[in-house]
Amino acid sequence: MTFDPASLIPVVISLALLALTDGFPFGETDTDCTKMIPSQLTSLPQRGPAPYNITVSMNMHGVGMELIVSIKATGKRKIRGVMIQARSAECPLPGKSVSSTPIGSFTNVEGTRTMKPINCFKKTNSAIINLNWGIENSMEATWKVEAPEQRKIRFYATVVDNEQTYWVGIHSETIRHITDTAEDDGIACQREISTHKPVSPGSLTNENGVNKLFGASTPVLIMSTLLISMILKHT
């Protein structure tokens, strides 16, 4: 029996592709970490409700407490790629944007074949992504916070079904600090409400047209009306 080196080519290609799928389609770029958009895809996120649900084992957190975060498909869609972060659910300060900095770290994932932590913004294990481009109905990971952190948080996820289809902004319920007894869930933030209804460019055009019709052209309309009335009287 002779050995044909060419027979190894498919095996080598398969191993190379398997290596490339590690973490696909997510990385540790600003796009991945800040916007939670998979940087290795070129499509835009889907609109409308996501066919996935993210749940947490407890509705409160504290130093050393471990929370199990689960993401599950609620329909026929699959989970081929995923990123999860914990972020503040507190209202931003006036003039400040909502925080995109991840909180806490993901642990106990060394033995899993589906998930791995990454270091967003140089914070150790501050986010977690899929280990390989796979086909799953559900995934889970363990999260905890080491330093005192009293803010309300939410877990946010991006889930990818295929190279063209993914959802961003899937989130859990609000998770309060163990000492927080406030009824406010920290999500309904007050915003400055303008007393003037914003006007679209189209309505501006229409408004200007009306002004021209009933403003500068008013004398013309009056004269036309008088002429029509005189003609009707003599007919």
Q: Are 83 and 157 in contact (CB under 8 A)?
A: yes
How far is C-alpha 197 from the geometric centre of its chain's CA atoms?
28
Pick from 157, 156, 115: nearest CA to 133: 115
Q: Where are the domains of the chain?
A: 14-177, 201-233
Q: Dump the DSSP string for 127-162.
A: EEEESSS--BSEEEEEEEB-S---S-EEEEEEEEEE
Q: Output the six-digit token pair for 46.
A: 């889907």
Residues of the chain with pLDDT under 70: 1-22, 108-113, 182-235
Beta strand segments in the chain, E = 52-56, 60-61, 67-73, 81-88, 105-107, 115-118, 127-130, 138-144, 153-162, 165-171, 176-177
**What is the pTM for the complete model shown?**
0.70
Q: What is the pLDDT of residues 90-133, one digit of tens each?
A: 888 777 777 889 999 998 665 566 888 999 999 999 999 998 88
Kindly report the CATH number that applies to the domain delimited by 14-177.
2.60.40.4060
